[in-house]
Amino acid sequence: MYTFVHRCARKHANHPVASAMQDYPKMPIYPNEPANGLPTGASPASPTGIEGPRPLILHLDVDAFFAAVEQRDDRRLRGRPVAVGTGVVASCSYEARRYGVRTAMPLREARKLCPALRVLTGDYHRYELAGRRIAGICLDATPRVEVAALDDLYLMVPRTVDPLSPSAPVEWAERLRMRIRDEVGLEVSAGIARGRFIAGVATQDAKEGRRLQAGHCNGTPPPSLVRLVMPGHEREFLEPFCSSLLPGAGALNARRLHDYGLVTLGLVAGAPKHLLEGLFGAIGRDWTSQAAGIDNTTLRESRQPRSLSRSASFDPPLADRKGGQLRAMLDYLVTRAALELRSQGRVAAGLRIHIRYGDFTSVDGHSRLDSAADDDTTLRAAAHDRLTRVLTRRLPVRSMGVEFTAMAARSMQKNLFEDPELLRRQRLDSCADAIRARFGFLAIRPGATLVLDEQFPAGPDGLSLRTPCLSR
């Protein structure tokens, strides 16, 4: 077990709540549950008493995702401290972490800790491409994959892999990890367990192991690790980890757990259920079971998104008195979002415009369309109408975004009386989409967006824009 789990100070063992727990007998999680955390008659491979082992869950996390992509694509950055972000650190390389640089740290503070730090604004399109390639490799390995984020995935380990073997799941995960490294050029850490929560904790342990190894070596960090939690040993594994890792334990609840002396999962597992339920409500009752290794969480079913958005930020804020550049940017964002909308076979019945001014005040405007649409002409007209209503202050604009809402699958049923103008627009969009698929997005676009070329560099997939959030 790596040392970071011991960051939860043992001095809190004398806290009134923690010490009061010693006066209680070890309360079972189930009426007939023995001290090892398993119901009577249940084998380690079957925590519910049902015959047959449960399949394992593999959690993958790309190490230092944004910074790793930048180092992969630029050899000059390899072995150097790198941070990605604007204002705060969104991602930092292992070389930067040796100096104390951390995610969510203000860049000003990061530069003080590491004067040689190379700071990059980031490029979402390259990160998205890398994330999609990783997801594709995972889908080749197993049919059930949950993409929680670009760099965060959960996989159901195939039943052909023996879940009771101490080596077979690790070997399967290692082959997958090596394929991702060879084909995408990124290192991933992996955790394997019977539940989604425990697998995530195992991945954190693997990542910390790599971080500690990287702190003792010069140059390229060591390879990532795979951590397997054997069935029946979940409670023993979880005991020393910080209680802030519990699902739903945000900053406020984590602070309360700390104040009550419940600083480790082991202490939470040993607390009476009614005590935690009284302190935290229903979620406290669940925490007792989860901290004891009773984790029945599994992959979440994927759902079709109900909205789709595209946005751009400006630094310094854009002072566009005539409104030409802002409207050109709106055309560009709507066209990009509409292209994605059609590629998903969806239509939108609503549209929202988001504006953030230079003084950091924000304003939103929402419109309902007369009928659900996916063509550029209809969506651009609605966006321009809403922008006119929203843009009421004569201040520079810091960011702009467009979001399609109330999305649904496109109906395949033909209308008895088709609108010839709508059919013409749909054929035009279909031709434009085919051209972009072959020659790139900028091969055909609204003429009004040409003024953006003077301010924003063009890449193979479109203009290189700054986005308010690099993860979406």
Cβ contact 199:191 at 8 Å: yes
Q: Which tokens hold the place of 422?
A: 């709508």
Q: What is the pLDDT of residue 45?
A: 41
The partner residues of 365 in beta bridges, in order of sequence, read: 353
Packing angle between helix 376-390 and helix 324-343, nearest 10 degrees? 140
**What is the rounded average pLDDT for all residues in the chain?**
82
At position 465, the amino acid (one-letter code) is L
Say which CATH class 55-192+203-219 falls into: alpha beta
User: Which of 16-20, 80-84, 181-185 has the least mean pLDDT?
Assistant: 16-20
- Please tell me the distance from the alpha carbon of residue 293 to that of residue 30, in angstroms, as a whole number: 13
In tens, the pLDDT along 244-284 reads 899 888 788 889 999 988 999 999 998 888 888 888 888 88
**CB-based burial, 101-139: b 16+ in 10 Å, e otherwise:** bebebebeebeeebeebbbbebbbebbeebbeebbebbe
Cβ contact 126:74 at 8 Å: no
pLDDT band at 38 (very low <50, low <70, confident <90, very high): very low
Look at the chain and count its residues.
Answer: 472
> Is the pLDDT assigned to residue 36 strictly greater than 50?
no
**CA dihedral (393, 394, 400, 406) positive or negative:** positive
- Please tell me the distance from the alpha carbon of residue 370 to that of residue 365, in angstroms, as a whole number: 16
DSSP 302: P
- For domain 232-302, give its CATH number from 3.90.45.10, 3.30.70.580, 1.10.3720.10, 1.10.150.20: 1.10.150.20
pLDDT band at 215 (very low <50, low <70, confident <90, very high): low
Helix (H, G, I), strand (E, B) or coil at 78: coil
The partner residues of 57 in beta bridges, in order of sequence, read: 156, 193
Domain edges within the chain: 55-192+203-219, 232-302, 308-463
Q: What is the pLDDT of residue 17?
A: 45
Q: What is the pLDDT of residue 67?
A: 93
Q: What is the pLDDT of residue 466?
A: 64
In tens, the pLDDT along 57-96 reads 999 999 889 999 999 999 999 989 999 987 788 899 989 9
> Is the pLDDT assigned to residue 29 strictly greater than 60?
no
User: Which of 48-52, 56-60, 113-117, 240-244 has the least mean pLDDT?
Assistant: 48-52
Which position has the token pair 């709507």?
334
Q: What is the pLDDT of residue 414?
A: 63
- Please tell me the distance from the alpha carbon of residue 298 to that of residue 146, in angstroms, as a whole number: 10
Cα dist. 66→36, 63, 411 in Å?
41, 9, 38
Give the burial class of 262: count Cβ atoms within 10 A of its Cβ; 0-12 exposed, 13-18 middle, 19 or more buried. buried
Cβ contact 384:377 at 8 Å: no
> Is the pLDDT assigned to residue 472 strictly greater than 70?
no
Cβ contact 443:435 at 8 Å: yes
SS3 content of the chain, % helix, strand, coil (to 5): 45, 20, 40
Cα dist. 201→60, 172, 207, 226 in Å?
11, 19, 10, 12
At position 66, the amino acid (one-letter code) is F
What do you get for the CA distance between the two ends of the chain, in Å?
34
pTM for this predicted structure: 0.69
Cα dist. 50→8, 29, 47, 169 in Å?
36, 17, 8, 22
- Please tell me the distance from the alpha carbon of residue 154 to that of residue 350, in angstroms, as a whole number: 32
Q: What is the pLDDT of residue 4?
A: 41
* Other residues' Cβ atoms within 10 Å of the Cβ of residue 238: 29
Packing angle between helix 124-141 and helix 65-73, nearest 10 degrees? 100
Of 248 and 9, more confident: 248
User: Which of 21-30, 79-88, 163-172, 243-252 has the least mean pLDDT?
Assistant: 21-30
User: Which of 27-36, 49-58, 278-287 has the least mean pLDDT?
Assistant: 27-36
- The topology under which CATH files domain 308-463 is Dna Ligase; domain 1 (3.30.1490)
**CA dihedral (318, 320, 324, 330) positive or negative:** positive
Q: What is the pLDDT of residue 44?
A: 42
pLDDT band at 319 (very low <50, low <70, confident <90, very high): confident
Helix (H, G, I), strand (E, B) or coil at 428: helix
- Please tell me the distance from the alpha carbon of residue 287 to that of residue 79, in angstroms, as a whole number: 41
